[in-house]
A = this chain, B = another copy of it.
Amino acid sequence: MELDLGCCSPMVREPLSAKQAARLAGAFKALGDPVRLRLLSLIASHAGGEACVCDLTGEFDVSQPTISHHLKVLREAGLLTSQRRATWVYYRVQPGGLAVLAQLLAAPVAEPVRAAG
């Protein structure tokens, strides 16, 4: 999944279409779990920008299969990529995945926004 949204103007400028909303909601839902958020930030801030599962499981109170499940959710949401090297599987943040979401949340809400049209 690529999180291609047609494009990416802030959602406070004009109403999202139902289709865009469905797509985006999937990505945000993936972020809507504390374990997954921490996984993401652990991976992103890890040396080299990548981490193997063995680097991650020790950080949580949940089982290895649960970690594996969450990684899969993040991968299918277009937020992570994985690569097997020898015995280990390395995850890294998908370039641009978070950026698309950040841009959509970017909000000039300080000033009144007029109706699109």
| Residues in A lying within 8 Å of B, measured CB to CB | 11-16, 18, 21-22, 24-26, 28-38, 40-42, 44-49, 59, 93, 95-96, 98-99, 101-103, 105-107, 109-110, 112-116
Contact = CB atoms under 8 A, between A and B. Distances in A.
Copy number in the complex reads 2
A38 B14 CA distance: 10
Interface class of chain A by DSSP? helix
Contact of A33 (B25, B95, B106, B113): B25
B37 A115 contact: no
Contacts of A95: 109-110
B99 A102 contact: no
Contacts of A37: 11, 16, 21, 24-25, 28
B113 A107 contact: no
